[in-house]
Chain A
Amino acid sequence: MVTVSKAEQRASHAERNVEGQRLGGAQILCEALLREGVEIVFGHPGGAVLPLYHVLTDYPIRHVLVRHEQVAAMAADAYGRIKGRPGVCFATSGPGATNLVTGIASAMMDSVPVVAITGNVPTFLLGGDAFQETDITGITLPITKHNFLVKDVNELAETVKAAFHIAGTGRPGPVLVDIAKDVFTTEAVFQYPHTVNLRGYRPTYHGNMRQIKAAAELIAHAHRPLILAGHGVVISGAYDELLELAEKCDIPVGQTLLGLSCFPQSHRLSLDLVGMHGTSRANRAIQECDLLIGIGMRMDDRVTGKVSGFAPHAKVIHIDIDPAEIGKNVRTHVPIVGDARQVLRALNSVVKPAKHPQWLARIAEFEERHPGRQWHPADGLQVPFVVDAIYRATDGDAIVTTDVGQHQMWAARFYPFDRRNRWLTSGGLGSMGYGLPSAIGAQFAAPGDVVWAVVGDGGFQMNIQDLATVREHSLPIKIALMNNGYLGMVRQWQQLFFQHNYSSSYLGSPNYVKIAEGYDIPGRAAKTDDEAVAAVRWAMDTPGPVLIDFRVAEEENVYPMIPPGGALSDIIEDPRD
């Protein structure tokens, strides 16, 4: 067999020009993907996409075979986040397509650019309940930014162009393109459009200057201003602009779960995480501030708690690229629709420098009473200790991915980011199983970077099969399994709000080290602080993937916590504080 490297293929492909030639739909799709700069696709084949997979090997597009389509969607999501342009996944019709659903919905909730391509049954069978037909455009209608069903090969190229445009611009999101099988094998003249024709889609990037001046006016008169920075800051790359605003006007910055890694957390103005498991100082500051500036965030209920008790003394400035998010949950005094970076640039040019020593001193008091980065030594290994050990061993420089649950909150709290866009978590949908797939996507997007997947024993088992993918590509992912033997966050709620009734939240523990070894991935367990530190060191010194089974304390709770349905002022602090 003669193998040609993808780089060689890329070079030879760049030379030939197929515009104006007749090509099959599968080739047209691949040509379109090349023109969109796609280098890698995560996917899983099946009947309806076989013609596509057949031609794919001729193209300089790398295909990563995952072991479950959910992983394809989630890896594409992570790739999209790190690269800032759409990640791509493929799946076949029917079960292949429906397996993508959770990943697509996660990308939707977190505003991540993803293009999902599915095959469907041939056009003449569409609508007739043929083998492996599902109405995937119907199913994904409410969980995509937009979707398409392609029944005519002549529309394929422009559809792909539109899909990438919609996914990657404005407020990013997933776009699904469902392609009937016969379209892949029908020929058409290939012509890739240079522009898109979408009359109804025109995102607003530049904020209204009158509103921006009104915001500056509020900032000038505020005594206790506060910034809530969200994912929009990461997406628009507004790091410098946010830092400039905060420093110039001496405004503390809280970060939403997806806003982590958008502002240096070692900075004196960082309040770190806000919301349900946010720091005491961040949530208390929200309740006392007289001006709240939301930037690229959506006042989600996990941030606000009970809305009627949220930031009761504050006027609100809300900057977001999606007008529908402004005023949706929280009454807004100055709405500014636009790209965070563009708006902040304009705002920085009109705000006047200010100092707020008293306000910051007040916040420092909160911090002193309930320090944000402290945990209580207790029986057994503590997740915060492990996360801190990883932080130290990686100089705070790793890409960190998580599943959903207690370990996620602890990772969010104890791995402070100074670098940009290093944090991958399923915030909006809260999808267990995201940790490993996102680490895979991130490692492909940033091959030279250190990637740590901090996973729960519950979440990890939802996509554990893709250890095979990690092994196949020798991805040097360090898997930190926080094994508490429980669906920990569920157990915590049951303990606190359901009279200790641990109904179906106990997992027990398979031998994870053996499982890893079964996939030819070195593993080891750690039960004590010393073992944990040594294991982290070992992971860093071992080339390639490793798994560490951290046997952490079973019944620890994440504090502080805003009780569900409560206001931020109903904060439950650690009883041991």
Chain B
Amino acid sequence: MAIAAPPALRAIHTHTVVALLEDRPGVLNRVVSLFRRRGFNIETLTVGHTDLPDISRLTVVVEGDDRIVEQVVKQLYKVIEVLKVSDVTADRVVTRELALIKVATGGTTRSEIMQICDIFRAKIVDVASDSLMIEVTGTQDKVESLVQLVRRFGIKELVRTGRVAMVRGSQGVTRVDDE
């Protein structure tokens, strides 16, 4: 009998799965329904257009061990409009998230916030008398760190996208062979 690893060391971590879908009504519903029904834990889910007019691209961050993620990939493939699925977790990938953060500003804090934004290469996209809106793009860690740093000034509103991912180099989750 193997001794179970403590929770933190177990192979349960998040996986980034990318799927190409036919861009038709109801497809996203099918995919989301699949995750719900099979009890897959989604951290984020992002869908958008690709360079091809009839294909959209889904990036989903799922929690689970390898066996669960294997099921995620296989079950996704069973959806008729799903054209290609890749678990890119182990690949060299660029991942990005975007956040808009509305932070309260007082007389002295404004410049402090702007300095922090500089360091994070975040942009101030709106200014009001008592608040700033920050736009930040980066990995989940980076976005997370900035949010933590500005929290003490008072976050009035926060919105984050899910993760998008792309494999580095010339290979990737691209075209679906059309025969």
Q: Is A324 an interface residue (CB 8 A)?
A: yes
Stretch of A17-25, A186-194, A196-204, A533-541 contacting B (4+ beta carbons < 8 Å): A196-204
Measured CB to CB, the nearest residue on chain B to A324 is B74
A200 and B82 contact, CB distance less than 8 A: yes
Chain A proximity mask over B79-96: 1 for CB below 8 Å, otherwise 0: 111110000000000000
- Segment 6-26 of B: residues with Cβ below 8 Å from A: 22, 26
Cβ-based interface call for B145 (8 A): no
Contacts of B83 in A (CB 8 A): 199-200
Task: Pick the residue among B34, B67, B79 that contacts A200 (CB under 8 A).
Answer: B79
Interface string of A199-213 (1 = CB under 8 A from B): 111000000000000
Residues of B within 8 A of A137 (CB): 26
In the bound complex, what is the Cα–Cα distance between A198 and B179 (angstroms)?
Answer: 10
CB interface residues, B 120-139, toward A, < 8 Å: none
Contact residues in A for B81 (Cβ distance below 8 Å): 200
| B163 vs chain A, min Cβ distance (A) | 23
Is the C-beta of A313 less than 8 angstroms from some C-beta in chain B?
no
Contacts of B34 in A (CB 8 A): 142
Closest to B37 in A: A142
Q: Is A323 an interface residue (CB 8 A)?
A: yes
Known: A141-B29, A142-B37. A327 touches B80 (CB 8 A): no
Q: Are A323 and B77 in contact, with the CB atoms below 8 A?
A: yes
**By the criterion CB–CB under 8 Å, are A199 and B178 in contact?**
yes
> A301-344: which residues lie under 8 A (CB-CB) from chain B?
322-324, 327-328
Q: How distant is the Cα of A388 from the Cα of B61 in the complex, in angstroms?
A: 56
* A146 CB within 8 Å of chain B: yes
With a CB–CB cut-off of 8 A, which chain A residues contact B82? Answer: 200
Residue B176, interface by CB 8 Å = yes
B71 within 8 A of A: yes
Number of A-B contacts defined by CB within 8 Å: 36
Complex: how many Å from CA A145 to CA B79? 8
A146, A200, A323: the one within 8 Å of B74 (CB): A323
Query: Which chain B residues in 85-118 approach chain A with CB under 8 Å?
Result: none
A324 touches B30 (CB 8 A): no
Contact B22 A199 (CB under 8 A): yes
Q: Let me know if B33 is at the binding interface, CB within 8 A.
A: yes
Does B50 reach chain A (CB closer than 8 Å)?
A: no
- In the complex, A201→B79 CA distance in Å? 8
A166 in the interface (beta carbon within 8 A): yes
B77, A324: Cβ atoms closer than 8 Å: yes
Q: Contact at B67–A324, with CB atoms within 8 Å?
A: no
Q: Does B75 contact A (CB under 8 A)?
A: yes
Contact A327 B33 (CB under 8 A): no
The residues of B that contact A142 with a CB separation of less than 8 Å are 33-34, 37
Q: Cβ of B80: which chain A residues have Cβ within 8 Å of it?
A: 145-146, 166, 198, 200-201
Taking chain B's interface residues, is the majority helix, strand, or loop, or is none over half, making it mixed?
helix
Q: A323-B74, A323-B77 are in contact. Are A199 and B176 (CB under 8 A)?
A: yes
Query: In the complex, which residue of chain A has the Cβ closest to the Cβ of B177?
Result: A199
**Known contacts A142-B33, A142-B37, A199-B83; A324/B75 CB under 8 A:** yes
> Given the complex of chains A and B, what is the CA–CA distance between A108 and B99 in angstroms?
42
Q: Mark each residue of chain B from 164 to 179: 1 if its CB lies under 8 Å from any CB of chain A, else 0.
A: 0000000000001010
Q: Is B144 an interface residue (CB 8 A)?
A: no
Is B70 on the interface with A (CB-CB < 8 A)? yes
Whether the Cβ atoms of B71 and A328 lie closer than 8 Å is yes
Q: Which B residue's beta carbon lies closest to that of A142?
A: B37
Chain A residues with Cβ below 8 Å from B74 are 323-324
In the assembled complex, which residues on chain A have CB atoms less than 8 Å from the CB atom of B176?
199-200
B33 cross-chain contacts in A, Cβ below 8 A: 141-142
In the assembled complex, which residues on chain B have CB atoms less than 8 Å from the CB atom of A145? 80
Interface string of B30-50 (1 = CB under 8 A from A): 100110010000000000000
Task: Give the docked Cα–Cα distance between A302 and B34 (Å).
Answer: 23
> Is the C-beta of B78 less than 8 angstroms from some C-beta in chain A?
yes
Residues of chain A with a CB closer than 8 A to B78's CB: 322, 324
Are B22 and A200 in contact, with the CB atoms below 8 A? yes
User: Closest approach, in angstroms, between the C-beta of A333 and any C-beta of chain B?
Assistant: 15
Question: How far apart sit A322 and B74, CA to CA, in the bound complex (Å)?
Answer: 9
Provide the bound-state CA to CA distance between A200 and B78, in Å.
Answer: 9
Question: How many whole Å from B70's CB to the nearest CB in chain A?
Answer: 7
4 smallest CB-CB distances across A and B, nearest first, come from A324-B74, A200-B83, A146-B80, A201-B80
Give B contacts to A, CB under 8 Å: 22, 26, 29-30, 33-34, 37, 67, 70-71, 74-75, 77-83, 176, 178
23 residue pairs A–B, Cβ–Cβ below 8 Å: A137-B26, A138-B29, A141-B30, A142-B33, A142-B34, A145-B80, A146-B80, A198-B80, A199-B22, A199-B83, A199-B178, A200-B79, A200-B81, A200-B82, A200-B83, A200-B176, A201-B80, A322-B78, A324-B71, A324-B74, A324-B75, A324-B77, A327-B67
